[in-house]
Structure 1
Amino acid sequence: MGEIPMNQGQCIFCGIVTGALPAATLYEDDATLAFMDINPLADGHCLVIPKAHCEDLLTAGDDVAALVGQTTARVARAVKTALQPDGLNVFQANGVAAGQTVFHLHFHILPRFVDDHFTIQFHGNPTSNREHLATIARRIEQALP
């Protein structure tokens, strides 16, 4: 998604939640909101957010993360049924280095078609060995709450 201009430093997604800014809403409950991306990569590209502001997944409480995850799955299933894409990407970015441009937690749901010519590629490190992977796993495990 491209850079979205902020209105005098305010969060654009909070503006959508309050109704101060327009959005094509497709789902809403007490805690979450889903709406169409205004710069879609494909027909059906939509976003799921918590109504309460939090910058990213890393700052969201477990309860918020769970609710947003449930809504994301629910909306993804509806996109699959309604648009019948060949596949779906569901993704989320945390921080500038990861490509986050709107600093309000959000998940993208992106319908994919075999001939859409849009690629997301991951190129792994073929030099990683089992010992190195185990070392990294231990570091992460020790950081878990």
Structure 2
Amino acid sequence: MINAAYDTNNIFAKILRGEIPSHKVYEDDNVLAFMDVMPQAEGHVLVVPKAASRNILDADPATLGTLIATVQRVAIAAQDAFDADGITIMQFNEALAGQSVFHLHFHVIPRKEGVPLKPHSGKMEDGAVLAANAAKIKESLAG
């Protein structure tokens, strides 16, 4: 059961308000996709709704429809941009299940045969690498 309220000061809410910079991949009226600053693989993207949702358990069903359609679109573009053999899509709900940022989000991670996921550590990726990876996905989305 969800007991906690949505925290308007979570890091993704701050990114959505433009208070914290991000390497955007895609944005429309409802959804933002941006590079994960601690990627588990090259091209790791986060897709978040603009609507305030703690996680999938409290999200408005209308929010979920547009969100998952964008997750699919970004996943296809990321697979193409990084010539990936597959895509891992992850979504966590509440701390016990692994959620660490309490704003609904999906991880979209391009995967290559024989390359394990890196740990989601405290080590941030270089901004130039993130910008280059974002540009690859944006190009694939446009094409």
RMSD: 1.3
Tell me whether 1:99 sits opposite 2:81 in the alignment: no
Alpha-carbon separation, structure 2, partners of 1:80 and 1:116: 15
Q: TM-score, normalised by structure 1?
A: 0.74
1:16 and 2:15 equivalent?
Answer: yes
Q: Determine the C-alpha separation between the residues in 1 that align with 2:51 and 2:116.
A: 36
Q: What do the CA deviations read for 1:31-58 (whole angstroms, capped 9, x no partner)?
A: 0000000100011001000012110001
Displacement of 1:118 after TM fit?
3.3
The reply to whether residue 56 of structure 1 matches residue 55 of structure 2 is: yes
TM-score (normalizing by structure 2): 0.75
Q: Within 5 Å, which residues of 2 pair with 1:31-70? A: 31-70=30-69
Report the AA paired with residue 54 of structure 2: E
* Count of residues in Structure 1 that have an aligned counterpart in Structure 2: 111
Secondary structure, in 3 states, of the residue corresponding to 2:34?
strand
Rg larger in structure: 1
Unaligned 5+ segments in structure 1 are: 1-8, 120-145
Moved over 6 A (4+): none
% identical aligned pairs: 42
What's the CA shift string for 1:19-76, capped at 9, x where partnerless? 1100000000000000000100011001000012110001001100111101100100
Structure 2 unaligned regions, length at least 5 = 1-7, 119-143
Q: CA separation in 2, counterparts of 1:10 and 1:44?
A: 26
* Deviation (angstroms), 1:18: 1.0
User: Which protein, 1 or 2, shows the higher relative CO under an 8 Å CA cutoff with sep ≥ 6?
Assistant: 2
The AA in structure 1 aligned to 2:80 is T
Q: 3-state DSSP class of the match of 1:109?
A: strand
